[in-house]
Amino acid sequence: MSNICHDLERNVMKFYLSIIATGIVSFMGVLVETAMNVTFPTLMNQFKIEPNVVQWLTTGYLVALSILVPMSVVLIKKYKIKSLFISAILFLVLGTLLGAFAVSFEMLIAARAFQGIGTGIALPLMYHIILTQSPKSKLPIMMGLGGMATSIAPAFGPAYGGFMLQTFGWRYIFVGLLPIICFSLIIGICSIESHGIEESSDIKMPLNTLAYLIVAVVSLFLFLSHFKIVFVVISIIAWILFGITNKVHKLIELIILKQRKYTLLLISLLTYQMLLLSVAFIIPNFIQIKMGINPMQAGMFMIPGAFVGAILAPISGNLLNKFKEQYVICLGTALTIIPLIIMICYIEILSYNIFLLLHILMMVGVGVTYTNLMTLSLSKLQVNNLSDGSAINNTLQQIAGAFGTVISAQILTFFLSKNEQIGIVTGSQVSLILISVLLFISLFGSFSALKK
């Protein structure tokens, strides 16, 4: 009996460690996404490039990530989980070393693309382990822990990037990742097991479907970078062809998007992803330009809210076991929108400390809502569609985050071009109004989806 209990405890420990290992890799990938934002002026000066070119450090990463996440559905069925995890680590290490020793901007883009591939493998792997190995009663809490990788990392990024940039130089943003990645590798090798997975070498990657997906994603991000209509046309045609070929040569089960409750909750989740990435862009820029704060202090501003969100993410999952789903989402959305409205109305006269308090309160709302939306959306799917749902969620989250960042950047650029001091206030207000309206609309969608 004692041996059985010992084996059970060991399996539970391995389960938690496997989530930590894959979660660290996912967290590192998303962290660098926003950490590099504070280096753009430095990189533009060093490599003599324009703003629309330097943005490809983020775009290249997101393109790779958005392509790899849908592929994960096939990869998880074809290869062992541990093998995929080691592959993710290798890509992440390769990208990190390339970035640390980059002598050209092209090498930096390649570095970010390799990091995107690593994260694109690890992120779905983490959710796959949670969804297939977690006890049902613990699922909301475990999804909360997993969601921290994508919800909290964007807030830590500017602080980490600002500190490394001012203290050591931009290359150390990459160097600083290596010890943590190696730590994750050791944990993963010791803990990750392929429970319930039947690997099959007979499963083939649908290359024609994948090709259309690549064209669709690349064209979409080219549009976000350059705002040329030709890229929209190419992207739309490629998405249509992807949808058609995917029915025959299946890469991912798109039919689940026809499930109304899942889709409404997914839209709400994507709205929160836009919020996180937009705020991670708007606030550091605002307090630097308006309040005259240096990049490192601007990045540190985001840390308290990020900590609050990190603590609440797993705890809030337990709320679904105690209260009605609608009440939990309504509470979280209210706690998110109210601080945003106060920011919008009084942003020009807010002191640093009050602004910081409002950001913390907003992150309380995010902590209550974000991961619960992820859990609730996937709970509306059949068990055999969970890997497809997780892949769709993660792919669209990256695209939504990119939309949020680009739209906020365009709004700020437009107003800053007229008058810097007035423009940063008006641009920030307009961006936050847009996000608040979308959050309010998404609340109605969530209520409709959760209605019994």
Residue 201 lies in a domain: no
* Under 8 Å between Cβ of 6 and 185: no
What average pLDDT does range 147-155 have in this prediction?
70
Residue 136 lies in a domain: yes
Residues 227 and 288 in one domain: no
Residues 80 and 225 in one domain: no
Question: pLDDT band at 223, cuts 50/70/90?
Answer: confident
Residues 233 and 116 in one domain: no
pLDDT for 50 beyond 90:
no
Alpha-carbon span 341 to 396, nearest angstrom = 27
pLDDT for 345 beyond 50:
yes
Residue 200 lies in a domain: no
* Residue where a domain stops, chosen among 183, 216, 250: 250
CATH code, domain with 326: 1.20.1250.20
What average pLDDT does range 108-134 have in this prediction?
87
What average pLDDT does range 16-27 have in this prediction?
86
The boundaries of the domain holding residue 170 are 2-194+251-450
The predicted structure's pLDDT at residue 196: 45
Residues 300 and 430 in one domain: yes
What average pLDDT does range 240-248 have in this prediction?
87
* Under 8 Å between Cβ of 437 and 344: no
Measured CA distances, 373 to 129, 150, 183, 262, 394 (Å): 19, 13, 30, 10, 13
pLDDT digits (tens, 9 = 90+) for 249-276: 778 888 888 888 899 999 999 999 889 8
What average pLDDT does range 285-305 have in this prediction?
80
Residues 245 and 255 in one domain: no
Measured CA distances, 235 to 29, 55, 176, 220, 224 (Å): 26, 19, 37, 6, 11
Residues 363 and 219 in one domain: no
Q: Which residue has the tokens 């058609």?
A: 244
Residue 412 lies in a domain: yes
The predicted structure's pLDDT at residue 359: 93
The predicted structure's pLDDT at residue 52: 63
* Under 8 Å between Cβ of 278 and 408: yes
Residues 212 and 274 in one domain: no
Burial class (CB in 10 A: 0-12, 13-18, 19+), 357: middle
Residues 236 and 365 in one domain: no
Domain total of the chain: 2
**Is the overall model pTM greater than 0.75, yes or no?**
yes
Residues 288 and 298 in one domain: yes
Residue 237 lies in a domain: yes
Question: pLDDT band at 9, cuts 50/70/90?
Answer: low
The predicted structure's pLDDT at residue 8: 52
Residues 240 and 351 in one domain: no
Helices (H), 291-419: 295-300, 303-317, 319-322, 325-346, 352-379, 386-416
- 79-108 b/e (C-beta count within 10 Å ≥ 16 → b): bebbebbbbbbebbbbbbebbbebeebeeb
The predicted structure's pLDDT at residue 7: 53
What average pLDDT does range 23-32 have in this prediction?
84
What average pLDDT does range 207-219 have in this prediction?
86
- 263-290 b/e (C-beta count within 10 Å ≥ 16 → b): bbbbbbbbbbbbbbbbbbbbbbbbbbbb
Q: Other C-beta atoms within 10 Å of 410: how many? A: 14
375 is written with which tokens?
């859990």
Residues 131 and 237 in one domain: no
Q: Other C-beta atoms within 10 Å of 167: how many? A: 9
Residue 102 lies in a domain: yes
pLDDT digits (tens, 9 = 90+) for 102-114: 999 999 999 999 9
Question: pLDDT band at 86, cuts 50/70/90?
Answer: very high
Mean residue pLDDT across the chain:
83
Residues 57 and 114 in one domain: yes
Question: pLDDT band at 230, cuts 50/70/90?
Answer: very high
